[in-house]
Structure 1
Amino acid sequence: MLISTTKKNNVLRDLSTLLLKHKQEIIAENQRDLEGAASLDATLVDRLKVDEGKVKGMSVSVDEVMLQDDPVGTVLHAYTHPNGMKVENRVVPFGTILIIYESRPDVTIEAAVSAFKAGNKILLKGGKEAKNSNLYLVKLWHQALVQNDVSTDYVQYLDIDRATTQKLLAENTHKLDLIIPRGGEGLINYIKSTTNVPLLISGRGNNFVYIDDEADFDMAIDLVLNGKSRLSVCNAIDKVLLNSSIPELEVKLEKLVTKAKEMGLNVLADHTIDQLDTRLNVVEGDEVWSEEFLSEKILFSQIDTLENAIEKINEYSGGHSAVIVTNNRDKAQIFQYGVDCAAVYHNASSRFTDGGQLGFGAEIAISTQKLHFRGPVGMGQLVSNKWFVDGEGQIRG
C-alpha cells in the first residue's frame, strides 16, 4: 500500500521535531552505550558517540530528505502501442530492506529516512554496542509514524540474538528484498555466504590521492590532510602516490611530512620514496597496499606515470574514492575515467563522498559495487521500476 507524499513528509517533519525536542534523552542513552564501550576499538567509539552536533545533523538530514521530490511514481518511459495500449515504466519502492550496521546511531535515522521516503519498509539490525541509542531513536520514529496514522512496520528494530539473525539470513524469515551490510569484510563475506537475498555492498575505503607533476602542491597538502581529518570514516585517505617528476620533490615532500606529523599521523613509506625523508617509517611487502587503515596511518609512495598510478589504484583500492591533484584537465579526465572507483575527484577532497554532501540529504550506504547503484545511496536509489500497461481488451496475434 502506497503512502502519499504528504503523509510521508508529515512523518519526517514530526521526526525532525522529536529529535531536537528529545536531544538530551538521546545523548543520555548514548552515554549509557559509551560507558559500556571501553573495550571497543577507538574508531568504533568515535562512530558511536552522539553529541548535540550529531543530533542536529540527524535532524538536518531528515529535513533535507523531506524537502526532496518523492521518486515514487516518476515515469521513466512512456509509449503508446499501435494497438492503443498505454505503456508506462514507473518508479516503485524496492520493498523490504534490512540494514546490518555497527556502532553508528545516526544510521538509525539516515538509513530509515532514505528508505521510508522512497516508500520502503526497513529493518534495522544495529550492533549491541549502540543498543540503548538505537532503541530510543526507533521509539521516536514510532511516535512520528503513529502521530500520522502510519504503521510502525515501516521502521522496525531487530533486537535479536545471533542464532535468530542467522535464521533470518538463511531462511529469509522476514521476506526481505534487499540486505545492506555496513561493516568489515568479515561481516560482508559472512552474509554473502549465508543468504540468497540480493545484497548492496557498502565496502571498504582504502582511498588514494595521486599528486601529479603538474599539481599545485599546497593544494595537494590541504587535500591529503583533509582526507585524513577523520580517521574512522570510509572516505578517509590511506595512500598517497607522488609523481617522481614533481619539481623539487624532496623539498615538497619534507613539507607534506612535517604537516602530516603535526597532525599526529603515522607516516609510512615504501622503498620508492623512503630515501627522500628519514622521518618516514618504512613498510615491507605488498599486503599494506590492500589494507584499509581506519587509523592515523598514511602511506606515501613514488610513482613514475599517471598510467601506473591508475593501475596501482585499481589493483589495491576498495573501489570507493580516489583523488587526482593536477592543473592539467586532460590528465584529470584520463584519471577519472580510468580509475575504477565509485567517486573520482579532481582537485577536491575524498571527504565529500557522502550522501549529504552530494545532494541526497541522507544516505543509507555508499555502494562500492556497480549494481544496483554505485556510490552514495539515498532515497532515489532505493527504488525499482515496474511496467504499467493499460488496455481495452487487446490481445497479441
Structure 2
Amino acid sequence: MTDTVTLQAWVLNKAKAAKKASHILATLSTEEKNAALLSMANSLWQHRKSILQANLEDIEQAQKNQLPQARIDRLLLDEKRLQQMIEGLHQIVELADPVGEILESFKRPNGLQIEQVRVPFGAIAMIYESRPNVTVDAAGLALKTGNAIVLRGGKEALRSNDQLVYALQKGLESTAIPLEAIQFIDRTERETVDFLIQAKGIIDLVIPRGGAGLIQHVIQKSIVPVIETGVGNCHLYIDKAADLDKATAITINAKTQRPSVCNAIETLLVHEQLVETWLPQVLTTLTKYGVEIRGCHKTQSVAKEIPLIPATEEDYRAEFLDLTLAVKVVSNVDEAIQHINQYGTQHSEAIITEDEKTAQKFLAQVDAAAVYHNASTRFTDGFEFGFGAEIGISTQKLHARGPMGLKELTSHKYVIRGTGQIRT
C-alpha cells in the first residue's frame, strides 16, 4: 500500500465486508448474539497475556514520545481494566435486545396495520483515539444491536487494538456472527479516516470519539451521518446552601478520581459567600492531590499560601484532561448558569446545594446532556447508568444525547400489513 488509491481501496474493502456482514447480523436472534458476546469475553481473558504485552509496548512507545501522563493513563491496560471490559460484555448480554422492539402500533381506517420497529443501523465506523477499551465496548454494543463495526483507533494504541480485535474475532469463530462483522483499520494514515467518513452508501453511521480536533474534523468532512460525542469541559458549582462536607468530597472525586476522562470537572464555580471559609480549605486539599489551580482574582486573594496560576479566558474553555482545575467565584446561581452555558460543552454539569429551589433552577436552565444535583459528574458513563458499556457520550440533540447504549445504536422502520388495500 504505497499510494492513496490503493489505500482507499483497502479501506473500502473492509467497509464493504462489514456492510455485507451487517445483513447477516440483522437476522440473528438475541440468543445467537449473546452466545457470541460471551465467547468474545472468554477469548479476551484467554488472550490477556498477548493483549497486555502489546499494551506495554504501546506504553513504552508513548513514554519515548513524551506523551502527557494523562494520555498515557487513557492508553493503559492492566488486568483490572481488562476485567472491566469483559464485565461490560457480560452486562450487555444481560440487557434486553432492542432490535425488533415495537415502538408504536396503530391501525388506519382503511385497515392498514402499521408498526414502528427498532432496527440496526447497518455498518458503523467508530473513529477514536487513545483508549483501547473503546475497541471492546464499541464492538460489543454494535454486535448486540445487529450492527457490524469498522474500528479505526489512534496510532498510540495500535498494538493494543490489534490484539484486542484478534481476540474478539477468535471469539466469533464457531458462532453465528461472521468474523467480518468486526473490521479493524490497522493503518495510521489520516486519509483512512476520510475514506471511511466519505463512504456514503457503505458506512451507515460514523461515531467519532476523542479530542476536539478529531471530532471537528469528522463533523466537517463527513458525508455519512455523524453522532457527535463530546469534549468534556464539565463544571461543578458549590452553592451558598451547600452541605460543605458533600461539596468537598464531590469536588475531590470529580477532579482527581480519574482526571484524564471527559466526565471529570475542569472548572469549579464557588459562591462568593464561601470564599473566606470553604474555598481556602478545598484548594489546600486539592493541591495535596497534586492539582494545579488556575484561579480568578477573588480566588487568588484567599489563596496566598497556595501555589496558584491566574486564570485566563482560555482556561475557562479548556478540557485539561489532567490534574489542572480552573476556579472562579460567582455571585449567585444565575451567574454560575450563565458561565456554564457560555463556556461548557453540553456534557456534564453539577450543583451542590441543599436548597431545592436553587437546584431545580440549575437543573432546568443548564444546557447539558447530563445535569447533577449533589453528585459527582463522574457518573456520566454507560456502565454507571446501567447500559453495560457505552459507545460514547453524545452532546448533540438529534437522535441521541448523553451516554449511548443499545437503544441509541438503533434506528427504526415502519412495517405495514394490509389485506389488498390500494390508494385511490
Q: Same fold (TM over 0.5)?
A: yes
The answer for the alignment partner of 1:253 in structure 2 is 279
Shift of 1:285: 3.6
On the 8 A contact 1:16/1:62 being kept in 2, the answer is yes
User: 1:291-323 CA distances to partner (integer Å, 9 max, x unpaired)?
Assistant: 111111112111111111101100001111111
User: Alpha carbons of 1:161 and 1:206: their partners in 2 closer, same or farther (altered >3 Å)?
Assistant: closer
Q: SS where residue 90 of structure 1 aligns?
A: strand
Q: Distance in 2 between matches of 1:286 and 1:130?
A: 33
Q: Are the counterparts in 1 of residues 271 and 331 from structure 2 also a CA contact under 8 Å?
A: yes
Alignment of 1:212-251 (within 5 A): 212-228=239-255, 229-246=257-274, 249-251=275-277
Match of 1:134 in 2: 161
Query: What one-letter code is carried by the residue in structure 2 that aligns with 1:36?
Result: Q
Displacement after TM superposition at 1:140 (Å): 1.6
Shift of 1:163: 5.8
Residues 50-88 of structure 1: per-residue CA shift (max 9 Å, x gap) = 101011001100000001000000001001112221110
Are 1:191 and 2:218 an aligned pair?
yes
Q: Is the 8 A contact 1:235 1:350 kept in 2?
A: yes
Q: Which stretch shows the higher mean deviation, 118-127 or 292-301? A: 292-301
1:215–1:326 Cα contact (<8 Å) kept? yes
Structure 2 unaligned segments of length 5 or more: list them. 1-22
Aligned equivalent of 2:296? 270
Distance 1:33 1:198, change over 3 A: same
For residue 20 of structure 1, the aligned residue among 45, 65, 71 is 45
- More deviation, 271-280/97-106: 271-280
Q: Distance in 1 between matches of 2:201 and 2:113?
A: 35
| Pair 1:112 & 2:153 matched | no
CA contact (8 A) 1:243 1:304 kept: yes
**Structure 1 counterpart of 2:408, from 360, 373, 381:** 381
Sequence identity percentage: 39
Change (3 A) 1:276 1:138: same
Matched residue type, 2:55: N
Aligned partners of 1:41 and 1:116: how far apart in 2?
A: 34
Count of residue pairs the alignment pairs up: 395
Which residue is equivalent to 1:81?
108
Tell me the secondary structure at the aligned position of residue 415 of structure 2. strand
Could you say which residue in structure 1 is the equivalent of 2:322? Answer: 295
C-alpha contact 1:176 1:197 (8 A) present in aligned 2: yes
Deviations 1:185-241 (A, max 9, x none): 211222222221111111211110111110001110111110112121001111111
Q: CA deviation at 1:344?
A: 0.5
Using a 3 Å threshold, how does the CA distance of structure 1 residues 284 and 237 change in structure 2: closer, same or farther? Answer: closer
> C-alpha deviations, 1:228-279, integer Å up to 9, x for none?
1212100111111111134xx4121121011111111111211133212212
Question: How far did 1:21 drift?
Answer: 2.2
Could you list the structure 1 runs, at least 4 aligned residues long, displaced by more than 6 angstroms after superposition. Answer: none
| Structure 1 stretches lacking a partner, 5+ long | none
CA positional deviation for 1:134: 0.8
SS in 2 for 1:359: coil
Quote the Cα distance in structure 2 between the aligned partners of 1:81 and 1:366: 38
Map of 1:145 onto structure 2:
172
| Candidates 85, 90, 114, aligned match of 1:58 | 85
**How many Å separate the matches in 2 of 1:163 and 1:66?**
34
Partner SS for 2:62: coil
Q: Distance in 2 between matches of 1:238 and 1:170?
A: 31
Counterpart of 2:367 in structure 1 is: 340
State how 1:366-377 maps to structure 2 within 5 Å.
Answer: 366-377=393-404
Rounded to whole Å, the distance in 2 between the matches of 1:43 and 1:255 is 26
Change (3 A) 1:302 1:226: same
- For 1:374 and 1:192, the matched residues in 2 are separated by 16
The answer for the alignment partner of 1:305 in structure 2 is 332
Q: Which residue of 1 aligns with 2:5?
A: none
CA distance in 2, matches of 1:58, 1:359: 14
Letter in 2 for 1:213: K
State whether residues 353 and 359 of structure 2, in contact with CA within 8 Å, keep that contact through their aligned partners in structure 1.
yes
RMSD across aligned positions (CA)? 1.5
